[in-house]
Every structure is written in structure tokens, then in C-alpha cells.
Amino acid sequence: MAKSPHQPPSPWRVALTFDVEHADRPAHPDGTQRVLDTLSERDVLATHFVQGRWAQAHPALARELAARGHLIGNHSHHHARMTWLSPHGLVQDVKHAEQAIRRVTGQDPRPWFRCPFGDGTDDPLVLSHLDRLGYQETSWHIDPFDWRAKATGPQVARTVIAEATAHGDGAVVLFHPWTDATGRALPLVIDGLRAAGARFVRMDEL
């Protein structure tokens, strides 16, 4: 049987990425640990964009992320919208996060940076400052809105599997590990995409 023109070639790459940050709404108390354990159980490496203040508050877990072979990126220090900051404020925020992440994990998060809320991903001024600091802004293709109060694990999983398959090779998925929906969805996502021929990679493998 001929392969559907909408079905990606096999094997094809998917990058699972997580914004590891202080939650701004009710969160699963052990969400990041739950995600980390699921990734280990299923032998998947991912990319984690770590908020500097979060790394300071949870140093053991931040070190574990790095120790298990995941790629560590910078997700700012205060999780402020980048376009709301002055040039000096933006530079200081990024540097403070980098220092905290390096102290805690022993890893340099450069060149991987993700703007909080995606704010600044296409702003020339923000991008120029990040470039001078040694970073490239790293956006995503698939956002299952796992942070919404009504999000459920099966719903998030269906969205990710459908949209990643439609995108094909190089799909970048955004997750928030503090949500209950992500914890429930992640095993379904990994198993479903693997069944569709996907191979999971870190951002530095795309």
C-alpha cells in the first residue's frame, strides 16, 4: 500500500521540550520529577529550558535533569516578558539565569534560550541582545496548551500526536512539566509517536 502523502517518513525526529519554571497557576506538586521519571523509563532524552530562579529553588532536581543526559537551556531568571524589559534589564535577567543554571547543574545553557510566553521570538531587538549573549531563541511548532485548567492528559496527547505527525521531521513540542495534564499525557505521546515511526532527539540533534 502506498504511503499517505501526509505521513512523515520513518524514522523522523521529534524534539520534546519542557519549560521548567515556577508555575503561575495550581500545579502538580511533583510534576517535573514525574516527567523526568517517565522520560527515563522510556529511554527518551529531551530539552529542558530552565528558569534560573527555579534552579535555585530546586537544585537537586535541576542537577538530576542534567545528570540524566538531557539538554539544558535558559528560560530567563524572572520569567518576565522579554519585550517588557529594558535592554539592560534583559541582559541582566539572561545573565542571572545563566549563572544560576551553571552553578546548580554544571552545564552552560548556551546557545539555547526560550523566551517566556514566547514573547520576543520575532522581536529584532530581543534577538540581537540574545545573539550578543551567545544565545539563539528556540521556539516550537506544537503547543498543546497543557497549562489550561481544563486540559486533560488524553486531550494533550491527541493534539501532540496529530500535530507532530502532520508536521513531520523536526517537530518541536512545547510542554510544561508542572501541569498534571503533561504528566498524564507524556507516556501516551511517547508511545504513540514511536508507533508512528518517530525518534526522539534533543534540540542539538535537529
pLDDT digits (tens, 9 = 90+) for 107-151: 999 999 999 999 999 999 999 999 999 999 999 999 999 999 999
Is 3 among the domain residues? no
Is 96 among the domain residues? yes
Range list of H helices, 106-152:
124-132
Is 5 among the domain residues? no
Which CATH number does the domain housing residue 50 bear?
3.20.20.370
Q: Tell me the angle at which helices 153-167 and 180-195 cross, rounded to the nearest 10 degrees.
A: 40
Q: Beta partners for 45? A: none
150: left (phi over 0), alpha (psi -120 to 50) or beta: alpha
Amino acid, single-letter form, for residue 162: A
131: left (phi over 0), alpha (psi -120 to 50) or beta: alpha
pTM recorded for the entire structure: 0.93
Tally of domains within the chain: 1
Is 117 among the domain residues? yes
Does the active-site annotation cover 43? no
Which range has the worst mean pLDDT, 21-30, 158-167, 169-178?
A: 21-30
Is 82 among the domain residues? yes
Please determine, for residue 41, whether its predicted confidence score (pLDDT) is greater than 80: yes
Cell triple for 10: 520513518
Q: Tell me the angle at which helices 59-67 and 87-105 cross, rounded to the nearest 10 degrees.
A: 70
Spatial separation of the C-alpha atoms in residues 111 and 180, rounded to whole Å? 30
Report the chain's mean pLDDT, rounded to a whole number. Answer: 94
Domain of 71, in residue numbers: 12-205
Please determine, for residue 199, whether its predicted confidence score (pLDDT) is greater than 90: yes
The pLDDT score that the predictor gives to residue 6 is: 54
Is 7 among the domain residues? no
Is 64 among the domain residues? yes
Catalytic residue of the set 28, 75, 79, 176: 176
Sheet strands (E) in the chain: 12-20, 47-50, 71-74, 112-113, 136-137, 171-175, 198-200
Mean pLDDT, range 152-173, rounded to an integer: 98
Mean pLDDT, range 162-188, rounded to an integer: 97
Does the active-site annotation cover 22? no
* Confidence band of 102 (pLDDT split at 50, 70, 90): very high
The pLDDT score that the predictor gives to residue 97 is: 98
Catalytic residue of the set 6, 19, 79, 169: 19
The pLDDT score that the predictor gives to residue 29 is: 76
Is 2 among the domain residues? no
* Confidence band of 24 (pLDDT split at 50, 70, 90): confident
Non-local (6+) Cβ contacts of 163 within 8 A are 141, 142, 144, 171
The pLDDT score that the predictor gives to residue 1 is: 39
* Confidence band of 9 (pLDDT split at 50, 70, 90): low
